[in-house]
A and B are shown apart, each in its own frame.
Chain A
Amino acid sequence: MATATGVYHTTYGRDFALRHTRAEYARLALLGAFAVVLPFTLDKYWLSYVNLILLAAVAAVGLMILTGYTGLISLATAGFLGVGAYTTANITTRLHWPMPVGVLCGTVLAAAIGAVFGLPALRVKGLYLAISTFAAQAILNNRFRDWPWLVQGHFSIGAKTPAIGHHVMRSDFEWYWLLLVITGFVVWGGVNLFRTGFGRALIAIRDQDIAAEVIGVEVGRYKVMAFSIACGLAGFAGALQAHYRNVVTWERYDFDTSFLFVAMIIVGGLGSVSGAVYGAAFMTWVPAYITRVGQGIQQGSSGTPFIIRELPAIQLGLFGVVIVAFLLFEPRGLARLWQRAKDYFRIWPFRY
């Protein structure tokens, strides 16, 4: 996408750079300033939301790499969140190893299991693969629910709050900084991935995998690796989430959560890492917004009794309607909307 006229690069390095013009750098600086100022202006409740968005973004970026860039549909994200969470909970609570080790193990285990469930990608494509990941989700969710060893026979298993030295990280404020840095790295890594040969190979697999095979891309191996990366990132996010919430229960890792992540990357816009972040923000925010609207209707006692009584049904239905409406209006997602907005201002007062 051309960003401005009159920009000529004289070295390969400049050509590959992530930002090309001074305006773009300025925008990036603004974003950075915004991210730094944000936690000081929000109250605890909204800050916890931002933390949730950052956590979801990590897994969403992983899923975007798999689905948006490699074209492999995965409906099992929640299952791998769970793998990461249960692993780190067991390691930190039962073996008493430190949190970073637990999170690392969670990530690695999720990546390994992801590779296993990615094996069908060697044989099937498209919707068949989607159904296979659906099965993976069912199996994983069932194991979380019915495997007493995982939770030592209790309802759930705890995960310690992380501590840096002697200082225990308890508040959303402290978590924000940790998550901001982590998510920043993940997003940066994701964007950089597609400047490498490996990333371009993934895109080739999405576009025309048979042709990619013909020109020498090891399609099978790269597909499984893409699964590994996506599931590993999901495990990473799940492990962090476990320490954020301090308790791991199986209800969190069901189909609805998997669908939520798929909705994130579609609504965000398939094919761009920033789309994953936008999608994560939007899909975390929409249910909260619908809840607020519902409460607004409740408080304002002028609402008709029918609406108040049927509020849960309306909220559920509204969630589905929002997704459907969004996809009907702009199937290419928020990233595309943002792109159109940028183009509009860039080209103004011309029309195109």
Chain B
Amino acid sequence: MNRYARKLAVVLSLALIVGVGCGKDNKNKSASKTNAPTKADIKVGAIFDLSGATADVGTPFSEGIRDYVEYKNSQGGVEGHKVALTFQDYGYKVPQAEQLYSQYVSQGAKVFMGWGTGDTEALRPKVNADMIPFMSASYAETLADPKVTPFNFFPGASYSQQMRIALQWISDQNKGKHIEVAVFHHDSAFGTSPLDDGKKYIADHKLNIGFKDYAMTAGATDFIAQIGQAKTQQAKYIIVQNVASPAAKLATNLASEKSTAQLMCLNWCADELFVKLAGPAAEKMIGVMPFAPPVEGTQGLDEINNFLKAKNTTAKDKGLHYVQGWYTMATMTQGIDNAIKANGDNPTGEQIKAGLEKISDFKTGVSDPISFSADYHAGLTSAPLYQVTGGAFKKISDPIKVTK
């Protein structure tokens, strides 16, 4: 054979060896920890965005989930069962999410930790057909309706609920005067999720609020045009449904345009990342934050801080989304716990779903107690408001609860 073919043969055989070698690793399950229980592992599949459009918040969230699993296993697991977490980055690419889902489910995952609206939506029919309880980081209200998506859950206040809270607070602050509100949102399903419910709330409760929404296009270098339109609308409040980076850009633009509107952020842009990126422009931003920022003195952080001491860091350094991930996983394991207590050692998807629905008053400390029910799969219905003062979040109101 000539030189070229020989080189090719070498490369191919190397590839084959690597493939076989790694395939073997897959078959032998990872060595179990020293305090190996005799009970079967509970397999959990998870997908994270560590390299895609929402990687800035997806990375700390993923660490929260993984660290919680490590912590829980070190405490003996769920009723003696270790949690075996298989996860992978999917870069916010839906086909990748689907492939990973099929793979993990075929490998025996009982529950699935999802991430964004896109993949949660795309996987919805499969999740329902396979009866796999799916906990997402997407808080779209449609996912909380068991009639539409019986196996989807999320442990936070839905975007629509956060919007209602913001609108109610605005209305209360202005004692019924007519107020214009501009809503800037991510240019996707995630962004538009709370819009219609917000408009409906205004109509149903006869709030004196003018509501106009503006899309924050992806890849835009600035939002001056939209800000100009909001100025024409004479909006006094700007509510943002987006992640931290574009929201920070918006804040910087607002500062340079010398806008006087009050900026309010829903949960995915009210975090320390926003403060860091927007710098001085972040001052006075009001956030609807169902999960409290992990500053010193917040309850519910002791467990986390004890765990992180071994890694030489604190919850504050890890950030809000880390804590969010931690408690998301904690909620799921609580549901599994309930299912095992009720149905024995090998609960099915249906039973875990019932176990999750049984959760009521699950205390996290960083949020109101989380509750699910057979009619509503969102964990929270209330959220407090915080304001950025001197670069840090200060609570400005107790948890506000609104009815639909």
- Give the residue of A45, A145, A247, A299 whose beta carbon is less than 8 angstroms from that of B30: A299
Which 5 residue pairs spanning A and B have beta carbons closest together? A296-B22, A312-B89, A155-B189, A45-B106, A246-B125
In the complex, which residue of chain A has the Cβ closest to the Cβ of B88?
A291
User: Contact: A293 with B95, CB < 8 Å?
Assistant: no
Answer whether A312 and B118 are a contact pair too, CB < 8 Å, given A155-B189, A158-B125, A299-B25: no
A252 CB contacts on chain B under 8 angstroms? 94-95, 122
Q: How far is the CA of A232 from the CA of B90 in the complex (A)?
A: 30
User: Contact: B196 with A295, CB < 8 Å?
Assistant: no
- Give the residue of A291, A295, A329 whose beta carbon is less than 8 angstroms from that of B11: A329
Does B98 lie at the interface of the complex (its beta carbon under 8 Å from any beta carbon of A)?
yes
Does A143 lie at the interface of the complex (its beta carbon under 8 Å from any beta carbon of B)?
no
In the complex, which residue of chain A has the Cβ closest to the Cβ of B52?
A312
A48 CB contacts on chain B under 8 angstroms? 102
User: Contact: A45 with B51, CB < 8 Å?
Assistant: no
- Give the residue of B23, B89, B124, B125 whose beta carbon is less than 8 angstroms from that of A292: B23
Interface size range on B against A = 35 or more
Q: How far is the CA of A43 from the CA of B126 in the complex (A)?
A: 17
Q: Measured between C-beta atoms, what is the minimum distance from A71 to chain B in Å?
A: 27
Does B225 lie at the interface of the complex (its beta carbon under 8 Å from any beta carbon of A)?
no
User: Contact: A287 with B96, CB < 8 Å?
Assistant: yes
Q: How far is the CA of A291 from the CA of B29 in the complex (A)?
A: 17
User: Contact: B25 with A300, CB < 8 Å?
Assistant: yes
Number of contacting residues on A, CB 8 A? 41
Q: How far is the CA of A288 from the CA of B99 in the complex (A)?
A: 8
CB neighbors of A among B117-134 (8 A): 117-118, 121-122, 124-126, 129
Interface string of B162-199 (1 = CB under 8 A from A): 00000000000000000000000001110001001000
B220 CB contacts on chain A under 8 angstroms? none
B4 CB contacts on chain A under 8 angstroms? 329
User: Contact: B106 with A299, CB < 8 Å?
Assistant: no
Answer whether A251 and B8 are a contact pair too, CB < 8 Å, given A155-B189, A296-B23: no
Does A174 lie at the interface of the complex (its beta carbon under 8 Å from any beta carbon of B)?
no
Q: How far is the CA of A299 from the CA of B24 in the complex (A)?
A: 11
CB neighbors of B among A132-155 (8 A): 145-146, 153-155
Does A170 lie at the interface of the complex (its beta carbon under 8 Å from any beta carbon of B)?
yes
- Give the residue of A155, A170, A299 whose beta carbon is less than 8 angstroms from that of B29: A299
User: Contact: B187 with A247, CB < 8 Å?
Assistant: no
In the complex, which residue of chain A has the Cβ closest to the Cβ of B218?
A145
